[in-house]
Copies of this chain bind each other. A is one copy, B any other.
Amino acid sequence: MNSLPDRLAQIVGPSNVIPTPEPASPYLNERRGLFHGRAAAVVRPGSTEEVAAVVRLARETGAPIVPQGGNTGLVGGGVPDEQGGAILLSLTRMNRIRAVDPEGNTLVLDAGATLAQARRAAEDVDRLFPLSLAPEETCTIGGNLASNAGGLAVLAYGSMRDFVLGLEVVLADGRIWNGLRTLRKDNTGYDLKHVFTGSEGTLGIITGAALKLFARPRAVATGLAGVATPETALALFRRARAEAGPMVTAAEIIPAFGMELAAMKLGRELPLPSAPAWYVLLEFSSVSPAALTDVMQRVLEDAIEEREASDFVVANSESSRKTLWAFREAMSDSQGLAGASIKHDVAVPVADVPAFIRQAHEAALACVPGCRPCPFGHLGDGNIHFNISQPEDMAPEAFIDRWEEMNAVVHGVVARFNGSIAAEHGVGRLKRDLLTSVKSEVELDLMRRLKSALDPEGLLNPGVILPPR
């Protein structure tokens, strides 16, 4: 008998089976170093049929399959475990734009195409694909679909799930489901695309997608306001919504601590003179030409009059616009400047964001005195990245040792608001065992029934999402 890598090479060609552990290392390790996987083989199929053939071989040999896109995930959902028996299946060779229809506002593409490719394909026909994530040049559409990615444009456009018109999926038994429809309405039976979207590669391997495109904004206004508290940040967001309605396309909250780290990372001054305790980054956009900068100016002047904001700046050029966003986008990376950090991707109802931030802050400090919470993110949709930097006088390792304890504390506060402990990054391996504490037995049972129905042998991405019984 040939070895598994040899048999895989017969399917995809020898150059598309990457030897393990080296040079396959970039496929096997999670980027932040939280997960180090091992695999029997790393394989890069070039077509849907090749993916199906790999799955059939895996089934025959009993090898689990871990599908992977750009390996930019934050919960370990795209790397294998340490047992070493899995086939890592990278979709990155499958990166064709299959069809763009500016009339119908649809885009059909391979799952291994990057988010940036999708955005450019839309721009080339004067349309917008709205998903907006920092790693857009690396992350793939398939990974975005598998994790139901959120990002910076959820408030106006929704999450990845909301952009899906159809999918092509290789099933656990190696059959191909061609559900690549571009219809806006279709009620012919159960909605299978929503079953696979967000299932993190555990129910099927997404190989292609038909996505919605949108009109490109013709006018954009971006501003940054200083506010005293999360409550005033929320008041400012409400004011913006009342005035500009669905033109409010982003409302991000950032604490002074985070802005200071970002300023250090970017080598820039803080953008507001009053050194406020909190910042709100607002963006308005409109597909009609409109004086949005004037609208934003008026909203922010009113906010100052009503003592919601201390001061503000509105971008007057594309470069000043990019500078304001640079602070927000530096938020994750710059936190390393303050040592080790423990991160939480949580969501609560929008109206509860201020109370959540206050209570989680207190709870984190009670857990590790001197720790420095840096809660930032999507005020407008209730999704807060409650990241916590270590105390200044603590060893990084000692702080990281408190990871699970701190998780329990912060997630306990999330539970008070009936919130989510995995708002936009998914469950993966990282949060799998936490599901038992936040999901009812009924809900876990329903999830297991779906898994058994679609992957009865448990070959697809085992260990991800579903906690062991």
Residues on A lying within 8 angstroms of B by beta carbon are: 101, 103-106, 147-148, 150, 154, 159, 161-162, 171, 175-179, 181-192, 194-195, 197-199, 203, 215, 238, 241, 243-247, 286-288, 347-351, 378, 381-383, 418-427, 431, 435, 438-440, 442-443, 446-447, 449-450, 452-454, 465-466
Given contacts A215-B245, A450-B453, contact A347 B186 (CB under 8 A): yes
- Could you tell me the distance between the alpha carbons of A366 and B103 in the complex, rounded to whole angstroms? 31
Q: Which listed residue, B192, B238, B246, B348, touches A103 by the CB 8 Å rule? A: B238
Q: Is the CB of B185 within 8 A of A150?
A: yes
Within the complex, the shortest CB–CB distance from A168 to chain B, in Å, comes to 11
Q: Is the CB of A424 within 8 A of B215?
A: no
Q: Is the CB of B103 within 8 A of A350?
A: yes
Which of A150, A383, A453 has the most chain B CB within a 10 Å cutoff? A453
Q: Is the CB of B443 within 8 A of A454?
A: no
Q: Across the two chains, which residue of chain B brings its CB closest to A450?
A: B190
The 9 closest A-B pairs by CB, nearest first: A245-B287, A194-B194, A453-B453, A186-B420, A103-B351, A184-B381, A449-B453, A185-B423, A185-B347
Within the complex, the shortest CB–CB distance from A453 to chain B, in Å, comes to 4
Number of copies: 2
Q: Is the CB of B382 within 8 A of A183?
A: yes
Q: Across the two chains, which residue of chain B brings its CB closest to A162?
A: B162
Q: Is the CB of A421 within 8 A of B198?
A: no
Which of A182, A238, A378, A431 has the most chain B CB within a 10 Å cutoff? A182
Q: Across the two chains, which residue of chain B brings its CB closest to A452?
A: B453
Q: Across the two chains, which residue of chain B brings its CB closest to A218?
A: B245
Given contacts A101-B349, A350-B103, A449-B453, contact A425 B187 (CB under 8 A): yes
Q: Is the CB of A195 within 8 A of B198?
A: no
Given contacts A162-B162, A177-B446, A241-B215, contact A190 B199 (CB under 8 A): yes
Q: Across the two chains, which residue of chain B brings its CB closest to A241?
A: B215
Question: Which residues of B lie under 8 Å from residue A186 when comparing CB positions?
Answer: 347, 420, 422-423
Q: Which listed residue, B105, B161, B447, touches A192 by the CB 8 Å rule? A: B447
Q: Is the CB of A197 within 8 A of B191?
A: yes
- Could you tell me the distance between the alpha carbons of A238 and B312 in the complex, rounded to whole angstroms? 39
